[in-house]
Amino acid sequence: MTVSNVINGNRQFVGEETRRRVIQTIERLNYRVLSSGRNLRLGRRQSIGVIIVDEQSDFMSHPYISRMVSGLCGVLNANGYSMVVQGIHPDEFASTFAMRRAEVDAFCVRLHGQEESRARMLESLQKLQEPIALVQETLPHSGDNRCVVRQDDYGGALLMADHLAARGIRTLHVVLPRFRGPMVGARLRGLEDGFRAAGRSVEITPITCDPNTFSTVYDTVQKHLGSGPLPDAFLGMNDELAIGALRALQDRGFSVPDKVRVAGFNGFNPAVYTKPSLTTIVSPAREVGAAVGETLLARLEQGVFRQQELVLPVAFRKGDST
Amino acid sequence: MTVSNVINGNRQFVGEETRRRVIQTIERLNYRVLSSGRNLRLGRRQSIGVIIVDEQSDFMSHPYISRMVSGLCGVLNANGYSMVVQGIHPDEFASTFAMRRAEVDAFCVRLHGQEESRARMLESLQKLQEPIALVQETLPHSGDNRCVVRQDDYGGALLMADHLAARGIRTLHVVLPRFRGPMVGARLRGLEDGFRAAGRSVEITPITCDPNTFSTVYDTVQKHLGSGPLPDAFLGMNDELAIGALRALQDRGFSVPDKVRVAGFNGFNPAVYTKPSLTTIVSPAREVGAAVGETLLARLEQGVFRQQELVLPVAFRKGDST
DNA sequence: CTGTTAGCGCGTTCAG
DNA sequence: CTGAACGCGCTAACAG
């Protein structure tokens, strides 16, 4: 008991001399608290589960995910919580052991796929009766034991529309991933509203392609170029898509930004690697992760989510591609 | 007890009818095993700690790390282990709670910094008396309770040297990060040996710069270009460095690969985004992570590391930049 | 095949 | 200020 008091800093209960001896002995024996014992006694796990749903096994390499996880990890560790990460294929969601074992106090979840499938996964998750923070999600927030942390994609699209409208863009080809993330809708709406607010009309044409490989995007845009007139600009729903389009255009001999403009979304490293550098909307991915951590920790402490939705601002970054 | 037997699949001890009732009740009650109880009883944690030492808080965004973690996570989860991730600043290594709490069965560690500092961190870690797998490490393997999993950087450099020698490169500027990773030495040696084996002499000049920002690399190489004759080729110790050099060269009006060649190391996405695409050595980062998982799991099961060092092959990938 | 007993390491409670 | 008793949820061992 005295050892426990020393470790947990209950100085009131321990004499200074005893304290010294205990610390010395802990050092000598390399003693560490066994989490399972403490957690069993205390009825908590002192850890947060991070669930990333993705079809690829390389779920951690998406720039958004890795930054979000970094931000979350920093906040959790600074507060004595550990972070348990799991990448799950959508088809295996229900059978994963995160669902069968109680080992975390709350979840940070990044869903993936069509709305119907996301809703199904969320429902399974809710059954666990643990607080859930959803990242970049648009599902209606019905439950009172969950919240959403996302960035202002609609606002970002407004900024982008403003910029493009000012440059006289009237025809815009938007390059979309095959699985439209939940925030794509917000961006598309923001684009239209932004042009309208600027008093310009715009004709938006979607180009859908599998984002997972650069060459697929490249080929899709190349093929697309042969099938109609060149638009005033291409906008990728993320930087990878925009870069694929950029390279396809350049290889066809269209000078960017003189002949056609290109812009992206997310603002991660590759956007500055290109020539010309990419105009883009910078995602506060790390801040989103940090906000998830703070929200979850507050929820655990206070027993209730203070707000059901947290929206972080994005920033417009002008490159040379527009 | 019967419930426990049902959950753990000890069918021999449970009647079919009872089994059905138990499963049904588990379903109805949303019952899940509490890991802390089970682990306390069983004397294990059923989880692996991943420690990434980095000065940046955004430790997960390095392409090598994120891929390695993805690969590791897949293997662990498939075997019922969870993955506890922690990013640690080198200065805070000793005080981090991973060192004060026993909550994992083994560690996967990615050290960072000068050799002396890495050795110190490793020593603290060893005190924990738990199996350790070191990623991309060159420290001498003294302990019998640890192993190293790395890629064949020396062999990769041989391949690169071969390629460059065949193109008649005689002067080579190597762009290095400020903190030389442990594998940089192997690459440098491989380069020299490779040229020697090809019967060509080469003059290697190191250029050191902070890799964390694209603009720093860009500026460093730009400045360097003014201070001497143009070499036959630039080689970045990773793709980011190579791309920085590539762009600096292009903006100075030097055509790549006609006037000067450029190559990198690691082979992650941005290497194919550039124009011209980058010749590089492809890292098996995900395979390294998977191998760490398998090695650690085998160690836990068999009580001993089968081998102290695991070296995975790399691949040469020709781009248009050479 | 089913249920009882015991103890894993910890921290709360309370007696000394 | 120190330590003894107890029980958190789980499963190995064993009794019925």
Q: Least CB-CB distance to A58: which of B40, B45, B67?
A: B67
Is residue B95 packed enough to be buried (19+ CB in 10 Å), middle (13-18) or exposed (0-12)? Answer: exposed
Provide φ and ψ at A88, rounded to 5°: -125, 135
| Average pLDDT of the segment spanning B79-105 | 92
| Average pLDDT of the segment spanning A183-187 | 92
Residue B40 has pLDDT above 70, yes or no: yes
Residue A160 has pLDDT above 90, yes or no: yes
Q: List the single protein residue with the shortest CA to C1' distance from D11.
A: B41
**Bases of chain C with protein Cβ within 7 A:** 1-5, 7-13
CA of A2 to C1' of C12 (A): 13
Nucleotide nearest to A38 (CA to C1'): C10
| Average pLDDT of the segment spanning A249-258 | 93
Instruction: Give the C-alpha distances (Å, rounded to integers) separating B64 from A78, A268, B243.
Output: 25, 16, 16
- Asked whether the beta carbons of residue A32 and residue B101 sit closer than 8 angstroms, the reply is yes
Residue A99 has pLDDT above 90, yes or no: no
A269 touches strand D (CB under 7 A): no
Q: How many residues does chain B have?
A: 322
> What pairing do the DSSP bridges indicate for beta strands B261-263 and B233-236?
parallel
Between A190-204, B141-155, B285-299, the lowest mean confidence (pLDDT) is in: B141-155
Angle at B48 between CA B43 and CA B49, to 5 degrees: 115
Element holding A87 (H helix, E strand): strand A82-88
> What pairing do the DSSP bridges indicate for beta strands A309-312 and B132-135?
unpaired
**Bases of chain D with protein Cβ within 7 A:** 1-5, 7-14
Q: Least CB-CB distance to A102: which of B32, B97, B214?
A: B32
Which tokens sit at A15?
A: 């004499």
What would the DSSP string read from start to end of B238-273? SHHHHHHHHHHHHHTT--TTTT-EEE-SB--THHHH
How confident is the model over A205-251, as pLDDT tens digits? 999 987 667 888 899 999 888 888 999 999 999 998 999 999 999 99
Cβ contact B234:B201 at 8 Å: no
Q: List the single protein residue with the shortest CA to C1' distance from C11.
A: A41
Give the nearest chain A residue to B84 (CA atoms): A84
Q: Cα distance from A104 to chain B (closest Cα, Å)? A: 9
Q: How confident is the model at residue B211 (pLDDT cuts 50, 70, 90)?
A: low
- Asked whether the beta carbons of residue A84 and residue B87 sit closer than 8 angstroms, the reply is no
| CB atoms near residue A204 (< 10 Å) | 14
What does the pLDDT read at residue A213? 75
How confident is the model over A133-152, as pLDDT tens digits? 999 998 887 778 999 999 99
Residue B43, helix vs strand vs coil: coil
Q: Cα distance from B221 to chain A (closest Cα, Å)? A: 15
Residue A98, helix vs strand vs coil: helix
Instruction: Give the C-alpha distances (Å, rounded to integers) separating B156 from A121, A132, A144, A164, B187.
Output: 43, 45, 54, 45, 7
Give A1 or B67, the one with higher predicted confidence.
Answer: B67
Instruction: Give the C-alpha distances (Å, rounded to integers) separating B137 from A58, A110, B184, B237, B295.
Output: 23, 33, 11, 16, 16
How confident is the model over B262-311, as pLDDT tens digits? 999 999 888 888 889 999 999 999 999 999 999 999 999 999 999 999 99
What does the pLDDT read at residue A46? 94
- Asked whether the beta carbons of residue B35 and residue A80 sit closer than 8 angstroms, the reply is no
| CB atoms near residue A287 (< 10 Å) | 16
Between CA A5 and CA A13 the distance in angstroms is 7
The pTM for the full model equals: 0.95
What does the pLDDT read at residue B140? 81
Average pLDDT over chain A, rounded to whole? 92
